[in-house]
Structure 1
């Protein structure tokens, strides 16, 4: 996996990360106060994620007009740092949108 400049995504020690490291929840408390990048996701994004997981709309957001679309987005399309694709048989492109809230060196 590479970043937008084509360089390998590093682990906490600067080495190329492996699939076991991506999104593994490793936490550095000092860096948590300056996250650098934010993955923008709204309650609607999470509701659509749950729709794609087969959960009923009235369970997700009861007492609202929210309805699951006929063809909900795939679970891996949630704008979230981790990526998981079940039964991957072909190439798949996964896109994430982030906001830089850190310095320009990040």
Structure 2
């Protein structure tokens, strides 16, 4: 749980799994309530834990994309189940 247990990591990983080769700006649009600082920190944590990879393209302007690793993809079914559980039980929580 320490790997994906923060407020945002599972959400960020979910978006990267849904849309492989996603750019930072696209992630920011998909998760509008997250600050740039927190998004950068959480991406760094996901990179450190080898759940995603960062691909930097040598071009002007610079372009960076994030893709899930095999380790990150192994969490996809778990995240799907958590999402389903949340939708099913969400109306019971206050």
Is the pair's TM-score, using the shorter chain for normalization, greater than 0.5?
no
Q: 1 or 2, which has the higher strand percentage?
A: 2
Give the alignment's TM-score, normalised by structure 1.
Answer: 0.27
Relative to the length of structure 2, the TM-score reads 0.30
Larger Rg: 1
Select the structure that is richer in helix.
2
